[in-house]
Amino acid sequence: MSPSLSYDLIVIGSGPAGQKAAIQGAKSGQRVALIEQNREVGGACVYQGTIPSKTLRESALQMVQFLHATDVFEFRLRDDVKIATLMTRLNTVVRAHGAFMAEQIARNGINRLHGRAQFVSDREILVRHVDGTTTTIVGNIVVIATGSRPRIPDHIPIDHEHILDSDSILSLVYLPKSLTVLGGGVIASEYASIFALLGVQVTMIDTADRPLKFLDPELTDQFRAAFEKTGGRYRGQRKIQSAAWDGFSKVITRLENEETLESEKMLVALGRVANIEHLTIQAAGLTPTPRGLIAVNDHCQTLVPHIYAVGDVIGPPSLASCSMEQGRRAICHALGLHPGDAPEHIPMGIYTIPEMSSVGLSEQDAVEKFGGVLIGRARFHEIARGQISGMTNGLLKMVADAKGEKLLGVHIVGEGATELIHIGQLGLLHDMPIDRFIDNIFNFPTLAEAYRVAALDIAKHRRKL
């Protein structure tokens, strides 16, 4: 064991939350150690989560567009090019992003330690290196940013060969003929729609009556219609009794209503669990919550004042964008720096096919809060750009107060939704009246024009009041 080393700040985990915490610390003049159990920095976001799934999605979309072009241009893709090409591109993007992040950490003078962290006390941390050696370090401030991993339900034998989780599905080298997806959340819906687009016969199974239950029903209805158009099926309000590889050629899924489903592969996407098992947080005076998370206050501060926790280990919203901000703000709080105003309107982006995005209040929340609302809708097939780009199944829904004057929320389904949402976000941040969207000019033809169409729809309803 090497002698103890002292740091101003120790960050455990190098995903989006940990990385931003470490960089904020370094930029504030702190001596920073960043502990990462993997060889590469970036965490699950880079290697198993956000970056790979979005790259796969983008590649799948491009490939399908390319395949459609064979109707116009005289060329043909080899059948076996498909998945190999997707995975190679995935590898390239992931490596490039990982290298960029490593360079950023090095540039900021952050000391990286490769190993698993374990609390010895509230300030002392033992790092177990991959070769079995250990290092002990001491820090004035500690940030836990160890992220999460796919949850493995007790009754489903995930073998990463036939029954996969959201990590192992990324290493498929061929497209299965059929795929059962357990779950109806973000990860399940994203992968289900990607594989359905690629021609895999996908069946989603979940207890909820519709996928992505937390989103506006008009968005999820559109998503479900698009998913079913590619051959996908959503089987809601169903509970799994058992799922197992039959030992031969298929995964057999038995539901509690006695239905039986068969598929070549299965993806289990039933939530994630926080990575805290190696940390022994009890040694630092902390106790995990009943859900296995670390409890924090508004500043991401735990019950031990100099220990902070950020990102997936503290639970929802578990968005990379929020995790980064949590990391930065936690360090500002710890160092007594002004972190800026707390973010009010955080957009949510779901990278399904088609994309969905949401910011502000939903129609239902707005009704509950204000008693009434006016809704404006713009369908992409009414927008010139939607027609030009062949994006005819999109919808932008604007939620305004009961008088139709104040913007309360924006919800979008359709390609480009996750980019388009930021106009609504800025509108909300600046309390922009609905009429401002009508009075101003947007580029033509663009999907941004949908904001004007939706605002005009609200104005039309307003006149009827």
Nearer to other proteins, 161 or 431 (CB): 161
Residues 6+ apart with CB under 8 A from 450: 378, 380, 383, 386, 394, 396, 412, 420
Strand pairing report for 111-114 and 32-36 = parallel
CB 458 within 8 A of CB 374: yes
Which one, of 157, 187, 165, 149, lies nearest residue 273 by Cα?
Answer: 149
Nearer to other proteins, 245 or 370 (CB): 245
Shortest distance (Å) from residue 248 CB to other proteins: 5
Task: At 286, list the tokens.
Answer: 């902390």
Candidates 14-22, 172-180, 280-288, 391-399; binding stretch for other proteins (CB under 8 A): 172-180
CA 133 to CA 2: how far, in whole Å? 9
Nearer to other proteins, 73 or 248 (CB): 248
CB 204 within 8 A of CB 235: yes
Nearer to other proteins, 96 or 384 (CB): 96
CB 35 within 8 A of CB 90: no
- Residue among 22, 33, 172, 243 that touches other proteins (CB under 8 A): 172
Nearer to other proteins, 131 or 154 (CB): 131
- Residue among 58, 124, 167, 382 that touches other proteins (CB under 8 A): 167
Nearer to other proteins, 104 or 178 (CB): 178
First-last CA distance in the chain: 76
Under rule CB under 8 A, which residues in 68-107 are in contact with other proteins?
84, 87-88, 90-91
Nearer to other proteins, 77 or 225 (CB): 77
Relative orientation angle of helices 81-107 and 50-69, to the nearest 10 degrees: 140
Shortest distance (Å) from residue 372 CB to other proteins: 50
Strand pairing report for 111-114 and 116-119 = unpaired
Shortest distance (Å) from residue 88 CB to other proteins: 6
Shortest distance (Å) from residue 178 CB to other proteins: 10
Our finding on whether 3 is near other proteins (CB under 8 A) is no
CA 206 to CA 276: how far, in whole Å? 27
Residue written as token pair 């929340």 = 365
Q: How many residues bind other proteins (CB under 8 A)?
A: 31
CA 216 to CA 222: how far, in whole Å? 10
CA 255 to CA 186: how far, in whole Å? 22
Beta partners for residue 261, in sequence order: 253
Shortest distance (Å) from residue 85 CB to other proteins: 11
Nearer to other proteins, 198 or 453 (CB): 198
Shortest distance (Å) from residue 87 CB to other proteins: 5
Our finding on whether 113 is near other proteins (CB under 8 A) is no
Phi, psi at 311, each rounded to 5°: 80, -150
Our finding on whether 165 is near other proteins (CB under 8 A) is yes
Shortest distance (Å) from residue 96 CB to other proteins: 14
Under rule CB under 8 A, which residues in 235-294 are in contact with other proteins?
245-249
- Residue among 177, 239, 291, 369 that touches other proteins (CB under 8 A): 177
Judged by DSSP in three states, 75 sits in coil
Task: At 452, list the tokens.
Answer: 């004007």
Shortest distance (Å) from residue 55 CB to other proteins: 12
Nearer to other proteins, 91 or 121 (CB): 91
**Exposed (0-12), middle (13-18) or buried (19+): which is 233, by Cβ within 10 Å?**
middle
Shortest distance (Å) from residue 172 CB to other proteins: 7
Residue written as token pair 């957009």 = 347
Calculate ∠ Cα 42-164-43, nearest 5°: 5
Write the binding mask 133 to 162 for other proteins: x where contact by CB under 8 A, - elsewhere. --------------------------xxx-
CB 152 within 8 A of CB 174: no
Write the binding mask 29 to 58 for other proteins: x where contact by CB under 8 A, - elsewhere. --------xxx-------------------
Nearer to other proteins, 127 or 421 (CB): 127
Positions in the binding site for other proteins (CB under 8 A): 37-39, 84, 87-88, 90-91, 116, 128, 130-132, 159-161, 165, 167-168, 171-177, 245-249
